[in-house]
Amino acid sequence: MNNKLVKAINCIIYSCILFIASNFFVIKGKTSLYWIFLLLYAAVNIFPTFVLPRTKRLKTCAKGNALLTEFLGSAALSVILFVLSFTDLLSVENMFQNPKLWIVNTLLAIMLESVVFWNGMLRVFFSSEQLGIKTRVTAVVCGMIPVVHLFVLGKMIRIVSDEITLENQKIITDEQRRAQQICATKYPILMVHGVFFRDFRYFNYWGRIPSALETNGAKVFYGEHQSAASVETSGHEIAERILKITAETGCDKVNIIAHSKGGLDCRYALNLPGIAEHVATLTTVSTPHEGCEFADYLLTKIPQAEQNAVAKTYNAALLKLGDPNPDFLAAVHNLTASFCKDFNERYPNVPGILYQSVGSKLNKAGSGRFPLNFTYHLAKYFDGANDGLVSEKSFPWGKTFQMLTVNGNRGISHGDMIDLNRENIPEFDVREFYVQLVAKLKQSGY
């Protein structure tokens, strides 16, 4: 019997138990059975489902989600019973015959149902990773609005259910292929971040991706360069990092995966003396190899004084966060189409290194989180289809190019490609994408 059927039977039986316990007296059950149903009610609150995923967090999530589903079922039955109490369709005492009993029953039902609801809601609120801030706030705001709160609850149950299914399946998949170590490449993986971010210890730029790679055998390192600097400055920092990694590991080379401006930084680094011989592959992700025309436009329209003010504020903040010499304006200017045209002519690909590229696009501006939902329109006006920052025509570089998107309105944004929001996207598992990308490097002997 599959899990879906077991869950459905589980939900129906437990919803009925909660319903009977909440409306026992008007159903005219035997008093001797009342304590049995109260014990069953308590048991449902503790063990709401016996189909549980692998990890402690997911188990808490699954129990909370089961309670919310069972709450909807038992509450719906209670409402139907209450409505029918005004008629003679059921063999229960009519509301008009014994209103006091029905008032007591209603208060008892509300109390018992509330316990189930909050038991489930608190578990889900504190264990789910896919219930974003927006959904949580909506649940709080709409929680007391009749009918509306049911739709919000239904949405929450669906989101959490999808999360449990996906995350549990990933655990099972990784367990089944653990012995294969499909990401144990010949050379370690160097992951290079893009502009305006750093490799913070407690907030990984690459989200859940590195953990997925390491689970499948990869040895991962990070660029550890400044958040914002010129391509030249960043390129020298990355070159030093490559030499340090090869010296520490004893490996002759590294495989580089670089996001956004990091791809340009790495291409520059590979043209420095003594660096290319230590690099096997360069995979650029969401890199503006042809630049961004809207960046050229903004730099000509925004007064220099305002540009300097923004740069001063940014540079001062990043100095405090550890950047030795941040240069906001240099980084921005190096993203323009005019700069990239000259850059591509001066720094060609180095023979002997596998260059490949990946890009994605949003299908609708609103699918991108702020500020990508805003910059999408600028990029589309000047550059066409884009991921919220970089256009489709700017991504391709090297031997192979892969363009990613999903059906429907959402698409895949610039931030989605590094799991920035830790969001599970229907039809696209960013973690598995990188696992398969690195697995292919291993299969190719890198």
Q: What is the pLDDT of residues 44-60, one digit of tens each?
A: 999 999 889 999 999 99
Sign of the alpha-carbon dihedral angle for 26, 27, 32, 36: negative
Give the list of residues 6+ apart from residue 346 with CB closer than 8 angstroms, or none: none
Q: What is the pLDDT at residue 51?
A: 87
For residue range 253-262, list pLDDT tens digits in order: 999 999 999 9
Distance, CA of 329 to CA of 315 (rounded, Å): 10
Structure token pair of residue 135:
């959904």
Residue 257 sits at φ, ψ, to 5 deg, of -120, 115
Binned at pLDDT 50, 70 and 90, residue 164 comes out as very high
Q: To the nearest whole percent, how much of the chain has pLDDT over 70?
A: 97
The per-residue pLDDT of the chain, averaged, comes to 92
Among candidates 85, 78, 159, 86, which has minimal Cα distance to 112? 78
How many Cα neighbours within 13 Å face the side chain of 257?
25
Give the list of residues 6+ apart from residue 296 with CB closer than 8 angstroms, or none: 336, 337, 338
Give the list of residues 6+ apart from residue 381 with CB closer than 8 angstroms, or none: 294
For residue range 170-186, list pLDDT tens digits in order: 999 999 999 999 999 99
For residue range 97-151, list pLDDT tens digits in order: 778 888 888 898 999 999 999 999 999 999 999 998 889 999 888 877 878 888 9
The pLDDT of 401-423, averaged and rounded, is 94
Q: What is the pLDDT at residue 28?
A: 66
Strand partners, 357: 284, 401
Q: What angle do CA 195, 201, 204 make, to 5 degrees?
A: 55
Contact between 254 and 189 under an 8 Å Cβ cutoff? The reply is yes
Strand partners, 222: 191
- Treating both helix axes as pointing N-terminal to C-terminal, what angle do 337-346 and 293-301 enclose, rounded to 10 degrees? 130
Q: What is the pLDDT at residue 438?
A: 98
Q: How many Å separate Cα 187 from the centre of its chain? A: 28
Pairing of strands 220-222, 279-285: unpaired
Whether 1 has a pLDDT exceeding 60, the answer reads: no
The pLDDT of 238-253, averaged and rounded, is 97
Q: How many angstroms separate the Cα of 264 from the Cα of each of 9, 193, 231, 308?
A: 56, 11, 7, 24
Q: What is the pLDDT at residue 29?
A: 59
Pairing of strands 254-259, 189-192: parallel
Whether 89 has a pLDDT exceeding 80, the answer reads: no
Give the list of residues 6+ apart from residue 108 with CB closer than 8 angstroms, or none: 22, 25
Domains along the sequence of the chain with CATH: 3-173 (no CATH), 181-443 (3.40.50.1820)
Q: How many angstroms separate the Cα of 318 from the Cα of each of 145, 224, 262, 374?
A: 45, 14, 18, 24
Give the list of residues 6+ apart from residue 437 with CB closer than 8 angstroms, or none: 257, 283, 358
Binned at pLDDT 50, 70 and 90, residue 203 comes out as confident
Distance, CA of 165 to CA of 51 (rounded, Å): 11
For residue range 321-358, list pLDDT tens digits in order: 889 999 999 999 999 999 999 999 999 999 999 999 99
Binned at pLDDT 50, 70 and 90, residue 209 comes out as very high
Q: What is the pLDDT at residue 70?
A: 96
Supply the DSSP string of 36-66, one letter for each residue: HHHHHHHHHHH-S-S---SSHHHHHHHHHHH
Distance, CA of 338 to CA of 292 (rounded, Å): 9
In the chain, DSSP finds a helix count (H) and a strand count (E) of 16, 6
Contact between 27 and 66 under an 8 Å Cβ cutoff? The reply is no
Entry pTM: 0.91
